[in-house]
Amino acid sequence: MKGQTRFGVKGKLAPHYIGPYEIIEKINPVTYQVALTPVMENMHNVFYISMLRDYLRDPLHVIKLTHVLLKDDFTYEERLIQIVNRRIKRLRNKEILLVKVDWQNHRETYAMWATEEDMMKRYPDLFPLDLAFFPNEGIYV
């Protein structure tokens, strides 16, 4: 339909379908209640079956379960596995040493940048004492 806004986009390039969304309840044989995102909270969440599409299974959408040891208060300790990379963040009048660390209780792809100073305080065993850094050259020896 010309001049109509669908999902925040106006015109012929607007998406006809969005999703996937979880079906909460089958109300009757032809209507379903769908769990929508908070952005779409003002939209009615019951849809006729002709407005829904089948979900095509994708093996990349499967989330692998990982076992995490929880304490009595349902918290866990995050441990650093290894340091993946190092770099220097240069500001106007200061240089910050950063390390990219890989964490234990996350998937393989979860690594984040943190300051080397903080990581040295929390995990001194991962930083050898004979490691010297020369910021002007940007190298470790």
Instruction: Give the sign of the dihedral formed by CA 107, CA 37, CA 56, CA 32.
Output: positive
Amino acid at the residue 124: P
Global pTM value: 0.42
The domains of the chain are located at 19-60, 80-140
Q: Count Cβ neighbours within 10 Å for each residue of 70-109 and write b for 16 or more, e otherwise.
A: eeeeeeeeeebeebeeeeeeeeeeeeebbbebbeeeeeee
pLDDT value of residue 138: 47
- At 3-34, the pLDDT tens digits run 667 677 787 777 778 878 888 999 999 999 99
- At 70-111, the pLDDT tens digits run 888 988 877 777 888 889 999 999 999 898 888 876 655 678
- At 49-67, the pLDDT tens digits run 988 888 878 788 777 777 7
